[in-house]
Amino acid sequence: MKKIKSIICLCIIAFNLMSCGGQTEKGVYYPKEKIMTTDKFDFVKYNRIVEEKRKLGEFDLYNHIEVLANGNVVESSQAQDKSATVIILPPVPELIETHKSYHKNGFLESETRRYIGLQLGSDIVKFDTSKYYDNNGQLVKEVDEAAKYENIKVKPLNLFEILKKEPLFVNLSKEEQVLFKAIFDLPQKEDEISPDIISKILKKYTILNPADREDVKNTFLTLSNDENMWEVVKDIYPFGRIEYNVDSNSGKIIKRNYIKETRP
């Protein structure tokens, strides 16, 4: 009986520790108190802009872009099911945007801060605390996004610093020299074509250039399943793409491949 009581006490202690602050799993918190958001999508303003665009004969009625006095660019859109999305892009050279989703009734559904470079198949690299709400505007869950990266040394902000300094090309293979000579109709001999020449033509010198917003939007990040490396893809369409692997603990570039363009 004494042993059973001890086991019960241990279970109660463990449960209380897990429940402290509403936390039930690593990085995820379910608030015990009722917290409501006042953030609602402005459908009146949005619909007014749609009508103005329609009268002007504009083609894209449902995606709105507004530049605020502080330099933020606010992109608003609405889906067919009447839910809405707002993306707040800070001025260059910032790399993190705010993404908000709204329920059909206008209440905020989720709010996250995420890296701007996104494509299908790459990670949505998030920062700080993401918040999720029900359709009545009540906070139901918070996620500490840093928890995903606690086992690696090169966290997203560290990776940014590495990519800002790392050259686009370090060297070119014979095949790449031949290819670039043909693509750009270069006057130099094939063996004289250097990474510096190609970087000047592309106007891209490092893997990540925060001063060029389109360059950032075309640089994609994925943490490998085993968390041993960051897989980085830089799209330089119509001239192909470059794939890099960065060790997630040492920060060293362990692979660098240029892939020639095959897309139409």
Q: pLDDT per residue over 193-206, tens digit each?
A: 999 999 999 999 99
**Quick one: CA dihedral 168, 170, 176, 182, positive or negative?**
positive
pLDDT band at 10 (very low <50, low <70, confident <90, very high): very low
Q: Cα 19 to the chain's mean position, in Å?
A: 31
Query: φ, ψ for residue 247 (rounded to 5)?
Result: -60, 125
Q: Cα 233 to the chain's mean position, in Å?
A: 13
Element (H, E) at 52: helix 43-56
Per-residue pLDDT at 24: 56
Rounded to 5 degrees, what angle do the CA atoms 40, 45, 51 make?
A: 140
Which residues have a Cβ under 8 Å from the Cβ of 208 and sit 6 or more positions away? Answer: 160, 163, 164, 166, 215, 216, 219
pLDDT band at 26 (very low <50, low <70, confident <90, very high): confident
Instruction: Answer yes or no: are the C-beta atoms of 104 and 83 closer than 8 Å.
Output: yes
Per-residue pLDDT at 5: 44
* 118, burial (CB in 10 Å: exposed 0-12, middle 13-18, buried 19+): middle
Rounded to 5 degrees, what angle do the CA atoms 99, 140, 130 make?
A: 30
Per-residue pLDDT at 137: 97
Per-residue pLDDT at 61: 94
pTM of the entire predicted model: 0.87
